[in-house]
Chain A
Amino acid sequence: MSDHNYTPKSKVGQWFNDRLPLLTLANHLTDYPTPKNLNYWWTFGGILTFCLITQIVTGLTLAMHYIAHADMAFESVEHIMRDVNYGWLIRYIHANGASMFFLAVYIHIFRSLFYGSYKSPREIIWILGIIIYLLMMAAAFMGYVLPWGQMSFWGATVITNLFSAIPLVGEGIVTWLWGGYSVDNPTLTRFFTLHYLIPFLILGLVVLHIWALHVPGNNNPVGIDIKKPSKDTVPFHPYIVIKDGFALLMFMIVFAFFVFYAPNILGHADNYIEANPMVTPAHIVPEWYLLPFYAILRSVPDKLLGVVAMLSAILILAVLPWLDTSKIRSAVFRPLYKQFYWILVADVLILGYVGAMPAEGLYLLIARVATAYYFLHFLVILPVLGFKEKTLPVPLSITEPVLGGSPNLAAARNKESKIE
């Protein structure tokens, strides 16, 4: 931030900014120098901000009608759907909004994996992002419990029981989480409280995430350090604002399709049956965005180790900046990493698929192989690849490959200097 000093033009603005530098902050949304080669994969930060605000606004309005009580929660959700003015719309936006939020965050995460955005000097941005992702999963899980349907109840039972895998104190922790001897009313009310709290924690972390981002500035598809401002950058407004806005519009079309044409396709029909502690649904599945981790949990035949594997699968991402030993950020210049990247994408999609299938026979075998590969990618392939891989030559600036248009660096540099 130090490399671009801002002073407001008006006298009043200067007077105010000297006392509270709010306008300097606002300047980060206007003149802020941004790499000029950012592609559409970079628009998901803005889309995610939109998702968070959508969830908070629809969540607040739903909370005006929802009743967090085991005897009334299910009915109050039906009341929202049938009686409350536009209640159906607000609830469908909120429920599908969670899925859209995860869709966007997965694209955002895989963008970072492809272009090496987690590498030095952006490790803190990355770790903040992983914490946000963990909080998102907690919020989504607790939100899914609130309608108090069969999947709500049994999802809550299975997930809270994960803690019982902890030796000695596990059972005590589960009873403490439940506030009873099973998932019941005390569990519901505390989940509602936490579900309400977490989005605001996320909002705070998003501010830190963006703050940390604006210290080194955006990574870019070429993955090189750039000077800002320079001819490699454009002001955030209007260039990035318009691009983000257009991408957001496209995203909202997808969002609206789900809300208006297939509002329940991402949910589970069993959740329209009220919670019954006597009967477990024949086939319990979490929401789609948690399926890969669910597959990892089920692929390990030991209870404690299964939970450890599932948590490790998420937490391993936090140490990714130190597991990837390659100095080159962007996969564009890493021919081998690029292939392993796509294998990882396929691996996660396969895990998601088998996570939705019964844990037996061939599905279980596939889940085990895919789980093993997931850890192999992070713990073996990435560290070794940094030393073994022969990377392609990286351009010195963003402008160079554009103006040069040839892989020959000397020629490109020559041409560029002529234009100057």
Chain B
Amino acid sequence: MIFLSFFKTLVGKEIAVELKNDVVLTGTLHSVDQYLNVKLMNVQIINPEKYPQLTALQNCFVRGSVVRYIQIPPEHVDTELLQDAARKENAPASAASSSAN
């Protein structure tokens, strides 16, 4: 659940979601769920000249399974906190029981 918690901290921030068909959408992150489905507000298509089919979209729910990358503004990420959370989340089985959420 580390990434669910992580993306929840980015709600309200601008992110860029790259899909597995090369389309890139930017927008304000509105919500995220356990499947890492994301909802973006006021979506803009990066290179609309290449994907003009999507220019009419406004607020957009993107299924997690079609996402390739999500670009995140680095200034909104506490990398130390993130690394600690990752170490905890992936702690070896013997240590996991004490750090379970």
Our verdict on whether A and B bind, yes or no, reads no
Instruction: Report which A residues bind B (CB closer than 8 A).
Output: none
Instruction: Report which B residues bind A (CB closer than 8 A).
Output: none
